[in-house]
Structure 1
Amino acid sequence: MATPGIVIRLSGASSTSAPSIPNTEVAYTLTAADNETPEHAKIYFVSDVTSIIASASLYESDKASSGTTTPPAWIVCKFINGRDTDNSSGAPKTSPHTLQTPPVHDSRIVINGSTPRPDKEADYHAWYDQEHGGKLALVPGWRGMRRYALAKTFGEVETADFYGVNFYDEVNGLGGPEWKAGVTEWTLRIRENAAKGNIRRVWRVEGVTEG
């Protein structure tokens, strides 16, 4: 059975030399919108990540051809579920894997990486699916969300066990009252039960490539 997921390619150099990855349905080219490093990324939405997880050959080829002193890093994740505008307040769906409408140029993607303690993992998933995801959907400009579980890493990169990827218009309510309202007692409990700190990056969409 196919295992849909994403490959996040992080690099200090422009993604113009990023490789093709088999089974890619769509890819988003990104630049940092948060003044953090690395400054460039590309997210590949892949219909089946099984072969990528099983072998480092694709990554090693990318590393060899990158031509930079700091090689790229890959974060490979398996799809868990997602929300779109048509089910923003309901239960998350296990399909479709890709967004119904791809993000436009200059829109924002916020990627949060979380690592709950093993004994608190069920509470983390319940929080995201029952409360947190729905509250983020209330933020002006929100367009969709996808959740993933870490499957494999290649190269030097800080990782988390789970990732929430939220998509917003260029003009949005990030940092505003609706966004701040997402911090609840349950949210604070999730933070207290984390095995390590949250990883948060904000990206600007530079381009979308089909297939």
Structure 2
Amino acid sequence: MAVPGIVIRLSDTLATSAPSLPNTEAAYTLGAGDSEAPKHATIYFLGDITPITESASLYDSDKSSNSSASPTWIVCKFINGRDASNPSDSPRTAPHKLPAHPIQGSTIVVNGSIPRPDKEADYHAWYDQEHGGKLALVPGWNAMRRYALVKMYGEVETANFYGVNFYDEVNGLGGPEWKAGVTEWTLRIRDNAAKPNIRRVWRVEGVSE
């Protein structure tokens, strides 16, 4: 059975050197929109991540071709998502692929979370019942996808779960709607985290299929 998901390829070199991957439905090349490193990434939307999780051969080939850059792959399976066409609905487990590609210059925010094992159910309930819906109210928001970490190749700090939100280039991040998303439930989720969140902001530089 196919397992839809993403591969986040991180590198210090330009993402144009990224390889092709099997089962790719879309791939977005990104540049850092924050001051963190690495500065380049590619997010692959895959219809099935199984060939990536069952063998390191594709990663090893990428690494040998980019030995000076030491790329890292974060492989995640799809949990659920929502789109601007149905922001108030419950998150859906299909489709995985975005209904429309993000445009060049638009913003992607990737937030990795590590809830304590005994608090994972509360974390998922918070994201599905409150947090995701509040992010959908931020001006310029277009879509959200959630993922669970399956495998990592290379050396990089990872999280157990990832929320990926897609925004227009001009958006309300940091504004009143975004700040309203910090509720009592949000603060409880933060207190119940095993480690602080891993948050990265990216700018879309290219789209391919």
TM-score by length of 1: 0.98
Aligned mates of 1:96, 1:44 — CA distance in 2: 15
Aligned mates of 1:120, 1:157 — CA distance in 2: 24
Other structure's SS at 2:125 match: helix
Structure 1's unaligned 5+ residue stretches are: none
Aligned mates of 1:188, 1:67 — CA distance in 2: 42
Within-5 A mapping of 1:127-142:
127-142=126-141
Aligned mates of 1:90, 1:185 — CA distance in 2: 22
Aligned mates of 2:58, 2:107 — CA distance in 1: 28
Within-5 A mapping of 1:39-50:
39-50=39-50
Other structure's SS at 1:164 match: strand
In percent, how many aligned pairs have the same letter?
A: 75
Aligned mates of 2:127, 2:134 — CA distance in 1: 9
Within-5 A mapping of 1:5-24:
5-24=5-24
Other structure's SS at 1:196 match: strand
Structure 2's unaligned 5+ residue stretches are: none
Within-5 A mapping of 1:59-70:
59-68=59-68, 70=69
The match for 1:143 is 142
Within-5 A mapping of 1:8-157:
8-68=8-68, 70-157=69-156
What whole-Å deviation, never above 9, does each CA across 1:184-204 have from its counterpart, x for those lacking one? 000000000001110000000
Aligned mates of 1:186, 1:51 — CA distance in 2: 38
Other structure's SS at 1:86 match: coil
Aligned mates of 1:196, 1:7 — CA distance in 2: 22
Aligned mates of 1:88, 1:104 — CA distance in 2: 20
1:16 alignment partner AA: T
Aligned mates of 1:140, 1:17 — CA distance in 2: 33
Q: CA deviation at 1:23?
A: 0.5
Q: CA deviation at 1:14?
A: 0.2
Over the aligned positions, Cα root-mean-square deviation in angstroms equals 0.6
Q: CA deviation at 1:17?
A: 1.1
Aligned mates of 2:16, 2:191 — CA distance in 1: 40
What whole-Å deviation, never above 9, does each CA across 1:58-78 have from its counterpart, x for those lacking one? 00000000142x400000000
Aligned mates of 2:51, 2:59 — CA distance in 1: 12
